[in-house]
Structure formats: structure tokens, C-alpha cells
A and B are shown apart, each in its own frame.
Chain A
Amino acid sequence: MKKFFNVRVLRGFISIVIFVVLWQFVVLVKIPYLENLPYPKEVAVDGINAVGSKTYWFDWGISLSRIFIGFIAAQLIGIPLGLAMGISRVFKGFTFPVFEMLRPIPPIAWIPLAILFWPTRELSIYFLVFIGAFFIIVINVLQGVSNISVSLKWAASSLGARPKDIFWKIMVPGSLPSIVTGMTVGMGVTWNVLIAAEMIAGQGGLGRMTWEAYTNHNIPFIVVGMVSIGVAGYLCSTLIRWLSEKAMPWKKRF
């Protein structure tokens, strides 16, 4: 129990209380331009109602499945591609220029093309989520591979490792920290892209839910949507952190 009542937790709690009190105050005194802001209580009531409804969780499910499909596809293609580029100079020579040409394009800028090219809206959204995570993971893996110290490779080869061993026992674990960084950053970008895509083109999902609250002028529910998106993003990042601790026990202990 002691753990829950330490000073840090207390400070955190106080900061949240202050935030809510300020919010209440801002609505109460009707500060210019913020007159439409709902009271914290209205948002809370809407939020509690939403949590009890099936459609709300249905939207969660849609958004999460879109994230996972696009994100996992990006890792499945991006990680091997990054490793290949990091290991083979020839392969990098052929692929990197095109890659660098496309990488600076913000994922959201792909929305029109994605809608035009893919036969269904759903596929376009998967594709956009994929783009959001893909370039980031590739560039991180590539960097991770090139940062592996040459002494580790030399030590392994002196110890008798064959090229195959060096790949699996040195290059792969050596680039894991960068893979995790790539996934963490990619997950953040992916949520940005997903919400934009859902607001513009989606059917269902947390982004669409929030947008519909706007079109219905249901302001408390807009806030409920925003908070939900924040929570969803946070949960996804936590999942990645948890996975990374499982995958890298040598980083966990300190």
C-alpha cells in the first residue's frame, strides 16, 4: 500500500485536481472564445454513458484493428527492409534514394491518393496507417544496424560465428533497441494518421465518432472522443513498452 501513497503520486493527483478546478472556473466565468466549452461534469456524464454503450466500444474495436493491421504490416515489411539496407551496401544503393524521396512526405498527404487507389475505404485506411509507421521503422532499423560496433562483429567472427550466426546473434539483437524506438515513435504517428483518415474518410472508429459529435454539435462528446483517443494511444504505447521489456531483458534491469 505504501507505494500508492508516496509524494509523487500525491503531486500527480493534486495537479489533476487543479486542472479540473481551472477548467470549471474557465467555463464558469465564460472567458471569451471559450464560452462553448462544456463543464467537466457534462463530459464526465457523457463519458460514463459512453462506456456503458455498445457502439462506443465498437468504435474502439474498429480503430484498434485498423491500427494493428497497418502497424504490424509496416513492421513485417519495414524491419526486414531496414536490416537488408543496413547489411548490404549494394541493396541500400538501389533502394535508399527512392526511400529518402518518399520519406519526407507527411503520411496525411497520402490521403487523397490512398482513397483513389485502394478499392475500399477500409484498405485506404490500413494503407495510411502503414505509411505512418513504415518509414520510421525502416530508418530506425537502418540506423540501428549501422550503429552496431564493429568490434562485436569481429569478436563474434573470432569466436567462430558464421555469417548466418552474425546476422541472427549480432545484427538482430543489436538492432532491437532501435526497432523499439522505431515502433514507439511509429505508434504515435500512426494514431495521428488514423484519426485524420477516419475523420476524412472513415466509417466508424474513434476519429469518426469524435467528428460526428462535432457535426451533431455535441460538444461534451467531442471531448469524450478526444480523451478516448488519448487513452487508446497511451495503451498502445504501453503495450509496446511491455513487449520491448520482454524482448530485451538486458535493458530491463536498470
Chain B
Amino acid sequence: MATIKQKTQGAISIRNVTKIYDPEGVHVVAMQDCSFEIAAGEFAVIVGPSGCGKTTLLNAIAGFDNITSGEIYLDGELISSPQKQIKPAADRMVVFQNGALFPWKTVIENIIYGPVVQGRMKRSEAIEIAREMMNRVGLNEIEDKYPEELSSGIQRRVEILRALINHPKVVMLDEPFRGLDTVAKTVMHEFLMDIFCAAPRTMFFITHDLDEAIFLGNKVVIMTTRPAQIKKIVHVDLPWPREHHLLGSEKYLELKKEVLEAVHEEARKAFEAGEREMA
């Protein structure tokens, strides 16, 4: 499967977005005049220094927070501007940095929550679909467990399934594999890759890990230190589905060098800014 099916839904357009926290008081400019496009069905990975405003952008797209100026469109529809903020909905699902499975619901109850609360499916229907999804990715036999009984890698997979059962236009993942060891991460990458190749949909993936960024993404968006702007966009034209031996290929190393240079420059700036603040 060298090419993937073209998706028609889930194009995100970020236009001149600025976000200032507490404009009257502390006045922290988190993002300044950010613009970029994510095509429908594209796997976009956002990298940048810590605290640079990546999550701010995610929150704006998801509808959790507003923006100070600019506009964000989803499939041509305005979803966020200073005047208008479309509420969070199942077309834009988020997998959170620290995990947000409901601890008091079992795995299956977590997964079926969306379709049932939306009134889109009956419980029994949703359970059937959820079981099918879990079987397909080898997560059967845990449906009656509570999240805290599972390893964090499994929790993440369940959370991704909970998002996918809603057929979102966009799946946003905020450093979802942070804190996992290398082996677990590899498993997660394969899991995500399988899911993405089986049914491509727009991904908005935030990470610090450059290998992960290039391995997973069609497009790596590198952001600057705060106030966040777009430093560089690197297109990754490696074939799908990606396999781990790619990480040794020449093409991959070239891409990594390109990304690394851009990130390194920003990291140094961030470091120097920190030094100045300390002085």
C-alpha cells in the first residue's frame, strides 16, 4: 500500500492566529501570527520547544479555548475566531497529554461513551462496534478492566479507540507517548500507523521526539520558541505504511538533519532566552 486513499474531510486552515493569555495583566503571547494548512487526511506533526504554544493551538482547534486574533477553519467552516468559538464536538477528538480515560468507567464503557451520549447509537450497538475495534487491534479481554489496572501504553490505545469510534474528522494527540519506554513507543507507533493506514484521517500530533515526528508524519511543522510562529515545514515523502527499518535509510537521515537543524536553532534561542532571564 504505497498510496493512501484520499480523504475529503478534515482540512484545517490556521490563519494569522495569535493567542495572548491574560492580555490585561501578565500578557503572555503564546502564539503570534501563525499560519499553516493541514490537508484532509494528512498526518501533521507539530514540534517545537517546551511551552511554545503547541497545546494552545490544539486547544483552539478543539474548542477548549479561544484565540486573540486570526481564524481557524475546518473544511472551510470557521471554527474559531475572536468573535466565534465552536464548542468542542466529536468531529475533533483529542487524546490528552496525561490521559483522560474516565477512571470510573471500564474500558468498554469508556469507548462507547461518545456514541451513546450523543444518542447516535444504542448501547448494545456501540458495544458490538467497540468489541470489533478492540479485537482488530488485539485489545480483547480487557473490556471489563478499569483504566488504572492497565499499563499506560494500553491506556493510550484505549483512549485512541475511544476517539476513533466517533469517526472524527481530526484526531489531535498531545504528546501521547511521552513517558513510554522505547519498546512501548515502537509498539504505539505501529498501532497508530496501522490505524492511520486502514482509515486515513487528519492527524494533529504534538511531540518532542523528532524520530517519532518524521516516522509518523506527512508533514512536520516546526514552531519557534514563544511567541510561537512557524519556523519551518518539512514534507516527509516516505512511503506508507512506514516500517522501523526506515529509520536507517538515507532519505530518513537527510530529513532528520533538516528537522534537527531547525529545532536546534530554536532550542538554542530558548536556552539563551532562559539564560537572559536568569541573569
Instruction: State the A residues within 8 Å of B (CB).
Output: 149, 151-152, 154-162, 165, 169-170, 173-174, 176, 248-250, 253-254
Q: Check if B94 sits within 8 Å of A160, measured CB to CB.
A: no
12 residue pairs A–B, Cβ–Cβ below 8 Å = A154-B62, A155-B94, A155-B96, A157-B88, A158-B89, A159-B113, A159-B117, A159-B118, A248-B104, A250-B105, A250-B146, A254-B148
Q: Which residue of B lies closest to A159 (CB)?
A: B114
Question: Can you add 15 more A-B contacts, CB < 8 Å, to A155-B102, A159-B90, A159-B113?
Answer: A151-B97, A151-B98, A152-B102, A154-B100, A157-B88, A159-B117, A160-B166, A162-B117, A165-B117, A169-B113, A248-B104, A250-B105, A250-B148, A253-B149, A254-B148
- B221 at interface (Cβ–Cβ under 8 A)? no
**Tally of chain B residues near chain A (CB < 8 A):** 30
Q: Check if B102 sits within 8 Å of A253, measured CB to CB.
A: no
Q: Which residue of A lies closest to B119 (CB)?
A: A160
**Which B residues are CB-close (under 8 A) to A249?**
146
Instruction: State the B residues within 8 Å of A (CB).
Output: 62-64, 87-90, 92-94, 96-100, 102-106, 113-114, 117-118, 146-149, 162, 166
Q: Check if B118 sits within 8 Å of A158, measured CB to CB.
A: no
Q: Which residue of A lies closest to B168 (CB)?
A: A158
Q: Check if B103 sits within 8 Å of A250, measured CB to CB.
A: yes
10 nearest CB pairs, A to B: A160-B118, A159-B114, A155-B100, A151-B100, A250-B146, A173-B104, A151-B96, A158-B88, A157-B88, A250-B104
Interface of A, helix, strand, loop or mixed by DSSP: helix
Q: Check if A154 sits within 8 Å of B146, measured CB to CB.
A: no
**Which B residues are CB-close (under 8 A) to A151?**
96-100
Measured in the bound complex, the distance between the Cα atoms of B100 and A174 in whole Å is 12
- B64, B104, B117, B166: the one contacting A154 at CB < 8 Å is B64
**Which B residues are CB-close (under 8 A) to A162?**
117
Minimum Cβ distance to chain A for residue B7 (Å): 20
Measured in the bound complex, the distance between the Cα atoms of B99 and A149 in whole Å is 10
Measured in the bound complex, the distance between the Cα atoms of B105 and A154 in whole Å is 16
Q: Check if B102 sits within 8 Å of A170, measured CB to CB.
A: yes
**Which A residues are CB-close (under 8 A) to B106?**
250
- A160, A165, A253: the one contacting B146 at CB < 8 Å is A253
Measured in the bound complex, the distance between the Cα atoms of B103 and A149 in whole Å is 11
Measured in the bound complex, the distance between the Cα atoms of B14 and A188 in whole Å is 57
Q: Check if A158 sits within 8 Å of B92, measured CB to CB.
A: yes
Q: Which residue of B lies closest to A254 (CB)?
A: B149
**Which B residues are CB-close (under 8 A) to A154?**
62, 64, 88, 94, 96, 100
Q: Check if B87 sits within 8 Å of A152, measured CB to CB.
A: no
Minimum Cβ distance to chain A for residue B133 (Å): 15
**Which B residues are CB-close (under 8 A) to A165?**
117
Measured in the bound complex, the distance between the Cα atoms of B65 and A32 in whole Å is 72
**Which A residues are CB-close (under 8 A) to B93?**
158-159
